[in-house]
A and B are shown apart, each in its own frame.
Chain A
Amino acid sequence: MKQRVILHSDCNGFYASVECLHNPAIRKKPVAVAGDVDNRHGIILAKNEIAKKYNVKTGEPIWQAKNKCSELVVVPPHFQQYQRFSKMAKQIYSQYSDRVENFGLDEAWIDVTGDAIGRSGVEIAHEIRSRIKYELGITVSIGVSFNKIFAKFGSDYKKPDAVTEITKENFKEIVWTQPASALLYVGRSTRKKLENIGIYTIGDIANAPVKTLRDNLGKWGDLIYSFANGYDSSPVNPIDYYSTVKSIGNSTTTPKDLLNNEDVKSVMFVLCDSVCRRMREQGLFAKTVCINVRDKDLFSFTRQTKLTEYTDITRAIQNTAMELFMKSYNWNKPIRSIGVSLTDLVPNNIDRQMNILDKRIVDAKQEKLDRTLDRLKQRFGTYSVRNGNLLKDRVLSDFNPKEEHTIHPVGYF
């Protein structure tokens, strides 16, 4: 089989780069994008190259970052801008291939095997790199390789504004000498397990007996073994590919701790409203409701329950989520964050068993009401029609997970 040519493009310090482009005054200063402190979302989401030199890390609280770098400029995120730039970058990628697969907002694989005018992967990578810089005003680093994993490795290897090629000839030199954690899917806990059996580099993984890896890591052992040896053969998805939705969820860290069931109800109702609207938009029914609760000491747990029948009625989901919560929480500590997700999804044109005794789950009247409310909210905004009980505590209920939280974390599988 012909060797594939795959690029992985990674926008350097994406959020921070977009902010710096739009605000020339902060461009030469250390800049970090962070959530709102007053609403307790004050962690670093991204930083620019200058802030990186001060060892400012993504995911740490603002105060900690400011301890490292007192002159750090902290700006709030503008997700719509990031989405716009992500889309513009994708438009550029799509001029080189119809196989473009996004990995989050700021990364993408591009399969440029068999370029129509015979350019090499590195040539195309340099062209993309300079076009993004010129047309978008931000920088990318690009890895070029024969599989997706090494291409991603290459984009991390040298940045910003750089191209790294990993070939069948040089991967042992470049990839194998790097620490195991530089490989996709070797996180903190996998790294620790590997160190316990004397595996420190990617080369160590590649040369370890696969059985040893499997015994210690289960099926992930096989996976990282094949990653390290360059055996990954997963395709780059076509540009219009949409994966089947397995779950729909929203969660939030609340502006103040939740102290009782009433508080939880306010937040839970808003979250359920958002996930149910998203479910209906996609034409789905759900049967399983999951809740996620994190207390103020950051201890968290998940509980789930099954409904008697598939549904998309907001009230049914709200009541189920609330019942589940009351059954599973004993209020020994206030709550800091809460989430709701729906799984077990099916298309909403399936046949369902009506239940004349319990009309909560399958109820044509409620379904009609939900659809009317959806249309009103779509035309006049989320806050145009609301549950009366949400007006009791606006600090807790004035948030809009449907529109504010459109960026969801992604996984490779």
Chain B
Amino acid sequence: MKQYVSVTAVFDEDGNLLPINIMWDDGRKFPIDKVTDVRYAASLKAGGAGIRYTCRIGGKEKYLFLEEQRWFVDAKEC
């Protein structure tokens, strides 16, 4: 299921946008340990398309999507 989330992200000096934390709507906060891949991709599970960040969160690999101005994840995954 498509779940929009709030994200803390930074622009580095080269203008790259990197997500740092994902905030769940119940207040839980998940720090992103590392972004291992960034590419355009569609999410068939959640239903959407945009820039896909492959993130390592708590030792697991998760996809975080930036669709225009909003971030989303596939809710079953988090």
Contacts and interface: CB of A to CB of B under 8 A. Distances in A.
Interface residues of A, number: 13
Interface of A is mostly: helix
B47 interface: yes
Contacts of A198: none
Given A88-B49, A136-B49, A21 B68 contact: no
Interface in A318-351: none
Contacts of A24: 44-47
Contacts of A135: 39-42, 49
Nearest to B39: A135
Interface residues of B, number: 12
B54 interface: no
- Which of A88, A135, A138: most chain B CB closer than 10 A? A135
A134 interface: yes
A84 B45 CA distance: 20
Interface in A2-25: 21-24
10 interchain residue pairs of minimum CB distance:
A137-B42, A135-B40, A22-B47, A24-B47, A137-B49, A136-B49, A136-B42, A135-B41, A23-B47, A137-B44
B43 interface: yes
Interface of A: 21-24, 84-85, 88, 133-138
Contacts of B45: 24
Contacts of B46: 24
B48 A22 contact: yes
A23 B2 CA distance: 9
Interface in B25-76: 39-49, 68
B12 to A, nearest CB: 23
Nearest to B42: A137
Contacts of B48: 21-22, 137
A174 to B, nearest CB: 32
Contacts of A22: 47-48
Given A85-B49, A135-B49, A137-B48, 19 more contacts: A21-B44, A21-B48, A21-B49, A22-B48, A24-B45, A24-B46, A24-B47, A88-B40, A133-B42, A134-B41, A134-B42, A135-B39, A135-B41, A135-B42, A136-B42, A136-B49, A137-B42, A137-B43, A137-B49
